[in-house]
Amino acid sequence: MKLTFLGAGRGGFPAPDCNSCAAMLECGNGVYLIDAGAPVLELMTVRGIPFERLKGVFTTHMHGDHTFGLLSLCSVCSWHYTGCDMDVFLAEDRGIAALKELILSMDKVFHEDRIRLKKARPGVIYTDENITVTAIPTAHCQPYPSYAYMIEGEGKRVFFSGDLHHGDAADFPLIAREEPSDLIVCEMTHIDHDVMLPLLGSCPTKKVLFNHVCWDYDEKCAAIKAAQGTYPMPIIAVSDGETYLI
């Protein structure tokens, strides 16, 4: 299992050295995206990733820095990469309807038999020969839905927090605190490091990667670096293009 940060997600907008949130997981013969911020289509193309390998896209919530890449991705995979066959999960029905309508307004056709837009719901939402994906509700967008994801494959367990409740991360899912995992990918835009670091230090995981580090970026990265060695697992703030073997 291999995880690549196409975009580390510096915030709600791109930075000169950082694209919006998009993590690419490779497992078996499949490729999967967790969030699809722009320009995910171009970033996969530059890396030479065959779009026919893309089997699933799991967006954590509807905010644009996590979803703006879906339009070009779904459009091109519908009309050009005709071998594509994938499930795309969004948090809201109206997001599904809007994405479909916009693609149809541009392309005049949308191959829903191959590019299936689905609504994420709590529980197991996806399984194939490579992975199983469980969606866990969070409170980032209240009253609108948002999700964290636990992904299992090749005997590994990887947890993606998605964006959490502002300020206190009170919605950080119990599954990550109570059940062993090989990796936790946690955002640090909406929570201060003095809240998030102690919380993650008690989680039974082998490694913690911080993405979506924003606003006081230098201060948070310095705090993460300073905490190295004081936690039972490595803790790292990621950058665009970094790849981790799990």
Predicted confidence (pLDDT) per residue in 192-211, tens digit = 888 999 999 889 999 999 99
Spatial distance between the Cα atoms of 205 and 46, rounded to a whole number of angstroms: 32
Residue 99 within any structural domain of the chain: yes
Residue 246 within any structural domain of the chain: no
From the list 84, 70, 75, the residue with the least C-alpha distance to 103 is 75
**Number of domains forming the structure of the chain:** 1
Helix or strand holding residue 176 (H, E): helix 174-178
3-state secondary structure at position 199: helix
In b/e form, how buried is each residue of 42-81, taking b as 16+ CB within 10 angstroms? ebbeeeebebebbbbbbbbbbbebbbbbbbbbbbbbbbeb
Residue 216, classified by CB atoms within 10 Å of its CB into exposed (0-12), middle (13-18) or buried (19+), is middle
Residue 244 within any structural domain of the chain: no
Q: What integer is the mean pLDDT of 182-200? A: 92
N-terminal to C-terminal alpha carbon distance within the chain: 5
Question: Token pair of 233, please?
Answer: 């697992």
Q: Is the pLDDT of residue 215 over 80?
A: no
Residue 120 within any structural domain of the chain: yes
Task: Residue 12: give the domain boundaries.
Answer: 2-239
Residue 50, preceding peptide bond in cis (omega within 30° of 0): no
Residue 100 within any structural domain of the chain: yes
Residue 245 within any structural domain of the chain: no
Give the CATH number, domain containing residue 62: 3.60.15.10
Predicted confidence (pLDDT) per residue in 57-102, tens digit = 999 999 999 999 999 999 999 999 999 999 999 999 999 999 999 9
Chain centroid to CA 235 = 18
pLDDT at 214: 83
Query: pTM here?
Result: 0.97
What is the DSSP code string of 161-174? --S--TTT-TT--H
Spatial distance between the Cα atoms of 198 and 53, rounded to a whole number of angstroms: 38
Residue 57 within any structural domain of the chain: yes
- Higher pLDDT pick, 174 / 17: 174
Spatial distance between the Cα atoms of 84 and 192, rounded to a whole number of angstroms: 40
Amino acid at position 105, single letter: S
pLDDT at 34: 98
